[in-house]
Amino acid sequence: MFVAFIRNAIRFSTIFLFGSTGEIITEKSGHLNMGTPGIMCLGGIGAVLGERLYLLTIANDVDLINPFLCVLFPLIMTIIFGALGGLFFSFLTVTLRCNQNVVGLTLTTFGVGLNAFILARVPRGAGFTYASAYFYKLFPDTVVSSTGWFGEIFLGHGFLVYLAIILAIIATIVIKKTNVGLSLRSIGENPATADAAGLNVSKYRYLATMIGGAIAALGGLFYIMDYLGGSVEYTIDRYGWMAVALVIFSVWNPSFSIFGSLLFGALYIMPSFLDGLSFADKELIKLVPYAVTILVLVVTSLFNRKETQPPAALGLTYFREDR
Amino acid sequence: MENNIALQFVNISKSFGSKIANKNVSLDLRKGEILAILGENGSGKTTLMNAAIGIYYPDEGQIFVNGEEASIHSPKDAYNYHIGMIHQHFKLVDVFTAKENVILGLSKEDYKKQEEATKAKQDLKLQKIREEEGREPTKEELKKYNKRIKDSKSYNLEEAKRKIIKICKKYGFEVDPDKKVYEMSVSEKQTLEIIKALYKGVDILILDEPTAVLTPQETKKLFNVLRNMASQGKSIIIITHKLNEVLEISDRVSVLRKGEYAGTVVTKDTNEKELTELMVGRKIELNIKRPAVKNPHDRLFIEGLTYTNREGVKALDDVSFVARGGEILGIAGIACNGQRELLEGIAGLVHLDSGDIVFHNPKKNRPVTFFHHNVKQIRELAEKGALYDDDTKETLNLKGVSTKKIKEMVQKEKIMFYEDEIIDLRNKKPIEIRNLGIKLSFVPEDRLGMGLVGNMNIIDNMMLRSFRKGHSIFLNRKKPKYLAEEIVDELEVVTPNLKTPVRNLSGGNIQKLLVGREISSSPKVLMVAYPVRGLDIKSSYTIYDLLNEQKERGTAVVFVGEDLDVLLALSDRILVLSGGKVAGIVDARKTTKEEIGLLMTKSIEKQEVSYNVSQEDEEE
Amino acid sequence: MLAKKMKKNDIKRDPFIHLTRLPDPKARHYWFSKLISVVIALLICALITNAMAPGSFGDFFKYLGLGTFSSSLQTLRVFQDTAILLLIALALTPAFKMKFWNIGAEGQVLIGALGATIAMKFLAGTMPNALLIFVCLALSILFSIIWAVIPAIFKAFFNTNETLFTLMMNYLASGLVAYFVFVWVPNGSAVLGVINPNTHDGWLPKLFGQDYLINIITVVIITVLIFVYLKYSKHGYELTVVGESQNTARYVGINVKKTIIRTLILSGAVCGLVGFLLVNGTSHTLNADLVSGRGFTGILVAWLGHFNPFEMIFTAFLVAFVTLGGSYAGDIFRFGTAYSKVLIGIFFFVFIASEFFLRYKMNFSTEVQAFFKKIGDFFAKIFGPIGRFFKKIFTPVGRFFKKIFAPVGRFFKKLFKKKDSPKEEPVSKEE
């Protein structure tokens, strides 16, 4: 029971981890992208459309499914959709200099609407269920079962779970230890300085937001194709907001976000692992992650340290000729 | 001849919306010279230079570098032309260390160049070993050779640190590469900016008002560095509006006036008067008036003020002085040495750790009321001997007198203050000070961030101080409107109408509104912080006149300034702050700039810079 | 010098495009741009609809109209939705003016609705109906105020990020509502059902036989009140100063903490009113999806209305119109309910983008300008005569209308003279 709980927590936390890693990269460039929930919805659309496209190429014949291609199609489509979301956000905020909060919220409204609109119109059949099998399994069953609890907790996941963790670690290293990371941080802290140092602020913001969008969108792919096994639900935006909250929880560090999302995931699925609870009590337990986020917010604001503060230029539009 | 010109501007024009910043400006910078660009605030000096480094793109005109037309669209292009600029507001990232700031923005090509340069240097070293010492380099030496080249070809903080230390040694700078910028002093930040430019190999260095934040001694040091750089073939432009500095440092002077080119003169053939005329366009009386002090009286006693700021630094340390009515007290000091905290502390904006601020109101003969004091305070005042009985005219002794009796006496207006009113202002909020009926006006340094609200119109800004008057829950915009009309009229504020948001006005007009509002309440104490910063000469003189007018009215004026010449000419006494302490109070009529400069740096201990680099690295 | 000039051709001098900031737009330019935005957004929506269901380009507009103004009931529904959206936007406006980014209206309204429901469910029959309605109102306002003030207190004292705090409070609110619904309906169906269906205890009375009229009247009153509060009251002045600069507020002795908390109490109170209207006036029941995203849409309504209560009427109406018309069209085309959300998203995007063209001027490089000029000349050739023709026809018509409406305009101008400040002219910075 406990092993299954941990296993499921890790699995569920992946949605948050993708979202928060993407959002951290975005926020490091000074973009407060409140459209992340919407981008995750776009990712869901990309996943379903990609899978549908692949299934059409094999004429819905489940026997012809190629494990590699059936994963690749939705993966690429998701990344494209997420990057498009980021591109759209950047176009409005960088090129057209619109308010980031407004654009973000609009993007979320739009993404959630489009998600429900399109997913309701994509016919799904057995193909999706078959295809999703290739998402939630990476190691063969024999390996997993032969290693006991270790295997079940650490090896019994789909490749996206490992990808999320690897991406978070890579993101941390890039942000902290490389030239690109230094430039990115400087743009989020003080774009005027970065500009004077010869960095292309617009280019970095575009790229960071698009890459962040693509990573966040993977959360949508994971949710639909892995976690739900190919069936459809429209509540991705709710997890998207959790991901935005996680950015603060992990003080803009993707590595901390791995543990943060695990905690959130565990709290979120806890009700279904506790016996004898009424429906009402389960609702109460579901509130805990939100309450914890609030607690973290309050605690970090109490200890006003420079290193745990948001990027100084977060949410501000940069216009070189502003006086 | 052509080859001698490093940087040339031809017919540059640039406008912001309806405001013209530069119009047909042409000037040139020769190789290895120091060119001063002189002009009033708002004459377009900075805009012109920003065009050279790609911050702004000019609407018209061309820029030539080394005789070839340059296309500079971004600071990156500027670096490729070896042009660097040190801005008035430093372009540094606060949370980064010095070395991170220095290597910020290096591209792949930059690293390639760096690698090639390092390789050449290291090759030379090996060659030296082979030829001069006649032996093959040892394994250790070869290892070091490879490591050096590897370090230099990509992002490497160690390599950056080594190179920074090298530059420091070459020019005599003192900067710790591992220090975070937010922990640095202003002068350290400026040094870091220069190092940054040198690290990137600039040949043309532009400095925007570099001395505004420095002491005379630091200025001298900076000028030495600049001369040193110029003698090594670097071309330098220094933007300033200070005449004496122009005469001291530059080879030639180009003057801008209201965005237009006014002429270039060779420094050694000119003098202050000629330059001023070029700058302003007409003859101008340069002397600041200083009326004699009449009937000075002690107004504000400051005793032992101490304030620790949020970072735990003592911003004010045991500051004591007296501000006198009918006198201008100048406050000098390097930027951020407690000036702001001092004024804000007196105005009640920050919570002081300890100390007393006592307001002294002579010739005030009035009964004590409960409006201003409660019984406990009345007892304390009586203990200090500040009260007397109206019937007996004798000093009041309230020991053993019941509270009820005191209340009765107050109601019958039997308890009177002695002639002087003494009020403790320490840690009273601005609103409490106002409720006490003390007219304390304060013109803060940050005009649009504190004194006025940029997005509000003139009328709404006029009522910032007084909007609470009356019991109605609604605002009364009538009186502020009259006040606005009066100020606009009397101080010649240029504005389309009274509904204009103040941010749309120029710096001089904004300051006139702010000072006008603050003196409209006929203050007893007037504190002004950097009142002429960013103003043109005419507006500056308007402000000086207003301050003198207040002084002659008997107001105690506290004037925080940065330009020592102005401080010396305008103030009666000068208090020098250094590291939050009072370094000295001198008579402005007798002292010299150098004396004040020495006082400004008095209590700053020389900070040891520690380089954590091994001996062999330093050998290079 | 010659060598220099030769070089000139080799260098690409101008950047393709560079931007300069424009002075604030005049009122008529502003409204004209809004009009254009509406037209463009409608066209985009119609084109997308046409792509999904070929041949429906004209039908789209037809259904948009049919879904909103074909019957008095529908018309009332549009105004009712406008009213609720506008109320939420109004609730947020004082906080936004103070730069307190309260995105928790969703939760604040919902928790208010919970308060009203509790009163309605448990106090029915114990008191006269008028008193019950009053208690519902009081309780919902109290609940909402508590929900809004918690983040405000933390913001005031510890500078805790209010955006994320209020966001989290939304989910706490919806979770709490779900909890209470499960407590009251333990079978797990999560459907509370209509409260007091027979006695109609706590239901708002119908005004002139119309369901929603009371909501609409309320919102009219609140709009005027908020406008007056922001523009003419001392509180409104204080919160504007706090929003513009906390330093200035300290400098003039405004109590920043008090102002933040007081403003959020007001914000919460209006949200409570919305919750009350939703439960007692409209749905007479409660579920976690009662507000259905209108708390977020309200933010956009307030923002795009530039925090001006009267301009917000326009944005709120537009959103309500597109939502209802869009969902009607969506039903006909069998696109589902989410279709209208997509339309709303498009509308917002177009509006946001339109602001750009008002605030910035694009300076194209000379080559691009020449290219545009060529296109322009071409069109001028074609459309010039047509334009002249129309001008000939419409100028007399215009004059005629001017003659009629000018006196009316003058009358209104007189009426509002004291309230409306003239838009400021661009100012040149000169000494």
Neighbours of chain A (3+ CB pairs under 8 A): B, C
Say which residue, C21 or C35, is predicted with more confidence: C35
Q: What pLDDT does B283 receive? A: 65
- Quick one: DSSP state of residue B447? I
**What token pair was written down for B541?**
């003189």
The CATH number of A2-308 is 1.10.3470
Q: Is residue B79 part of a domain?
A: yes
Say which residue, C322 or C378, is predicted with more confidence: C322
Measuring CA to CA, which residue among A253, A176, A293, A209 is closest to residue A21? A253
Instruction: State how far the Cα of C214 lies from the Cα of C281, in Å rounded to an integer.
Output: 8
Residues B200, B327, single domain; the answer is no
Q: How confident is the model at residue B284 (pLDDT cuts 50, 70, 90)?
A: low
Instruction: State how far the Cα of A206 lies from the Cα of A200, in Å rounded to an integer.
Output: 10
Domain end (from B154, B180, B211): B154
Residues B189, B222, single domain; the answer is yes
- Quick one: DSSP state of residue B206? E
Give the SS3 label for residue B400: coil
Q: Is residue B288 part of a domain?
A: no
pLDDT tops 90 at residue B562 = no
**Which residue is associated with the tokens 């047509």?**
C386
Q: What pLDDT does B425 receive? A: 79
Say which amino acid occupies B203: D
Whether residue C182 and residue A279 make contact (CB cut-off 8 A), yes or no, is yes
Choose, out of B16, B19, B471, the residue to mutate when testing the contact with C (most C CBs < 10 Å). Answer: B19
C415: closest CA of chain A, how far (Å): 35
| DSSP notation for C4-31 | HHHHHTTS--S-SEEEEEPPPPPHHHHH
Average pLDDT over residues B309-314: 76
Q: How confident is the model at residue C173 (pLDDT cuts 50, 70, 90)?
A: very high
* CA angle, C114 then C118 then C120, to 5°: 115
Residues B534, B513, single domain; the answer is no
Q: What pLDDT does B418 receive? A: 63
Region label for B82, one of left (φ > 0), alpha (ψ between -120 and 50) or beta (otherwise)? left
pLDDT tops 90 at residue B152 = no
pLDDT tops 70 at residue C418 = no
Note whether B31 and B5 are within 8 A (CB): yes
Neighbours of chain B (3+ CB pairs under 8 A): A, C
B89: closest CA of chain A, how far (Å): 10
Q: What pLDDT does A218 receive? A: 94
Calculated CA dihedral for residues A98, A99, A105, A107, nearest 10 degrees = 20
Q: Which ipTM value was assigned to this complex?
A: 0.83
Helix (H) or strand (E) holding C169: helix C162-184
Q: What pLDDT does A80 receive? A: 95
Q: What pLDDT does C1 receive? A: 38
Residues B150, B170, single domain; the answer is no
Backbone angles phi, psi at A158, to 5 degrees: -80, 165
Buried/exposed B167-206: b ≥16 CB within 10 Å, e otherwise: bbeebebebbbebbbeebbbbbbbbbbbbbbbbbebbbbb
Whether residue B506 and residue C8 make contact (CB cut-off 8 A), yes or no, is no
pLDDT tens string C189-245: 777 888 888 888 878 877 666 667 788 888 899 999 999 999 999 999 999 999 988
User: From the CB of residue A139, how many other CB atoms can be counted at a distance below 10 Å?
Assistant: 15
C187 touches chain B (CB under 8 A): no
Note whether B68 and A173 are within 8 A (CB): no
Q: What pLDDT does A24 receive? A: 95
**What token pair was written down for C46?**
């119609």
Quick one: what percent of chain B has pLDDT higher than 90?
Answer: 10
Residues B387, B302, single domain; the answer is no
Calculated CA dihedral for residues B257, B214, B175, B340, nearest 10 degrees = -110
pLDDT tens string C37-65: 889 999 998 888 888 777 777 888 888 88
Question: Which residues neighbour C248 within 8 Å (Cβ) at sequence distance 6 or greater?
Answer: B449, B450, B451, B452, B453, B464, C241
Q: What pLDDT does B611 receive? A: 39
Residues B62, B127, single domain; the answer is no
Q: What pLDDT does C365 receive? A: 67
Give the SS3 label for residue B26: strand
C20: closest CA of chain B, how far (Å): 7
pLDDT tops 50 at residue C5 = no
Q: Is residue B617 part of a domain?
A: no
Quick one: what percent of chain B has pLDDT higher than 70?
Answer: 92
Closest by Cβ to C18, choosing from B57, B456, B494: B57
Q: Is residue B375 part of a domain?
A: yes
**Number of domain units in chain B:** 5
B467 touches chain C (CB under 8 A): yes
Instruction: State how far the Cα of B587 lies from the Cα of B572, in Å rounded to an integer.
Output: 6
Residues B187, B148, single domain; the answer is no
pLDDT tens string B441-457: 999 988 888 889 988 88
**What token pair was written down for C211?**
């369901």
Residues B146, B210, single domain; the answer is no
Note whether A266 and A248 are within 8 A (CB): no
Domain end (from B280, B312, B344): B280
pLDDT tops 80 at residue C315 = yes
Backbone angles phi, psi at B565, to 5 degrees: -60, -45
Q: Domain limits of chain A?
A: 2-308
Average pLDDT of chain A to the nearest whole number: 86
pLDDT tops 50 at residue B605 = no
B453: closest CA of chain C, how far (Å): 7
User: From the CB of residue C120, how many other CB atoms can be counted at a distance below 10 Å?
Assistant: 26
Choose, out of A279, A281, A304, A309, the residue to mutate when testing the contact with C (most C CBs < 10 Å). Answer: A279
Whether residue C165 and residue A286 make contact (CB cut-off 8 A), yes or no, is no
Of A269-283, B178-192, B224-238, the range with the lowest mean pLDDT is A269-283
pLDDT tops 60 at residue B619 = no
Task: Describe the crossing of helices C105-122 and C294-304 by its angle, rounded to 10 degrees.
Answer: 130
Residue of chain B whose Cα is closest to the Cα of C364: B59
Q: How confident is the model at residue B606 (pLDDT cuts 50, 70, 90)?
A: very low
Using the Cα atoms of residue B535, residue B536, residue B542 and residue B544 in order, give the sign of their dihedral. positive
**Which residue is associated with the tokens 């960013």?**
B534
Average pLDDT over residues A31-48: 92
Q: How confident is the model at residue A227 (pLDDT cuts 50, 70, 90)?
A: confident
Instruction: State how far the Cα of B361 lies from the Cα of B418, in Å rounded to an integer.
Output: 11
Q: What pLDDT does C416 receive? A: 58
Residues B236, B350, single domain; the answer is no
Q: How confident is the model at residue A84 (pLDDT cuts 50, 70, 90)?
A: very high
**What token pair was written down for B394?**
């004798």
Q: Is residue B500 part of a domain?
A: yes
Question: Which residues neighbour B22 within 8 Å (Cβ) at sequence distance 6 or greater?
Answer: B12, B13, B14, B15, B44, B47, B48, B51, B58, B259, B260
| DSSP notation for B487-535 | HHHHTT---S-TTSBGGGS-HHHHHHHHHHHHHTT--SEEEEESTTTT-
Domain end (from B223, B248, B280): B280
Give the SS3 label for residue B59: coil
pLDDT tens string B228-281: 888 888 899 998 877 888 888 899 999 988 888 888 999 888 888 888 888 877
Q: What pLDDT does C191 receive? A: 77
Interface of B with A (CB under 8 A): 16, 53, 55-56, 74-76, 78-79, 85, 87, 91-96, 100, 103-107, 154-155, 182, 310
Give the SS3 label for residue B143: helix
pLDDT tens string C112-124: 999 999 999 898 8
Say which residue, B515 or A155, is predicted with more confidence: B515
Quick one: what percent of chain C has pLDDT higher than 90?
Answer: 30
pLDDT tops 80 at residue B398 = no
Residues B482, B432, single domain; the answer is no
Residues B433, B515, single domain; the answer is no
Average pLDDT of chain B to the nearest whole number: 83
pLDDT tops 80 at residue C166 = yes
pLDDT tops 50 at residue B2 = no
Structural domain range at position B128: 120-154
Pinpoint the alpha helices (H) of chain A.
Answer: 2-28, 36-57, 67-90, 100-119, 126-133, 141-146, 148-150, 159-177, 179-189, 191-196, 201-221, 236-249, 254-273, 279-286, 288-302
CATH number at residue B549: 3.40.50.300
Instruction: State how far the Cα of B446 lies from the Cα of B411, in Å rounded to an integer.
Output: 44
Three-state SS letters, A36-92: HHHHHHHHHHHHHHHHHHHHHHCCCCHHHCCHHHHHHHHHHHHHHHHHHHHHHHHHH
- Quick one: DSSP state of residue A99? -
Q: Is residue B65 part of a domain?
A: yes
- Quick one: DSSP state of residue A309? S
Of A157-166, B307-316, B565-574, C256-265, the range with the lowest mean pLDDT is B307-316
Q: What pLDDT does B371 receive? A: 66
Average pLDDT of chain C to the nearest whole number: 82
pLDDT tens string B454-477: 888 899 999 988 888 877 888 888
- Quick one: DSSP state of residue C199? T
Average pLDDT over residues B558-585: 88
Note whether C281 and C117 are within 8 A (CB): no
pLDDT tops 80 at residue B565 = yes
Say which amino acid occupies B537: I
Q: What pLDDT does C263 receive? A: 96
Q: What pLDDT does C87 receive? A: 94
Instruction: State how far the Cα of B507 lies from the Cα of B167, in Å rounded to an integer.
Output: 39
> Which strand ranges, in their side-by-side order, compose the sheet holding B440-443?
B440-443, B525-529, B556-560, B327-332, B573-578, B581-587
Q: Look at strands B34-39 and B252-257 and give their pairing.
A: parallel
Taking only residues 1 to 40 of chain C, the set having a beta carbon closer than 8 angstroms to any beta carbon of chain B reads 3-4, 7-8, 11-13, 15, 18, 20-23
Q: Half-sphere exposure (CA, 13 Å, Cβ side) for C242?
A: 26
Region label for B560, one of left (φ > 0), alpha (ψ between -120 and 50) or beta (otherwise)? beta
Residue of chain C whose Cα is closest to the Cα of A239: C171
Q: Is residue B253 part of a domain?
A: yes
Residues B160, B59, single domain; the answer is yes
**What token pair was written down for B578?**
């250094």
**What token pair was written down for C394?**
């419409």
Using the Cα atoms of residue B524, residue B530, residue B536 and residue B537 in order, give the sign of their dihedral. positive
Beta partners for C360?
C21
Question: Which residues neighbour B250 within 8 Å (Cβ) at sequence distance 6 or greater?
Answer: B34, B35, B36, B238, B267
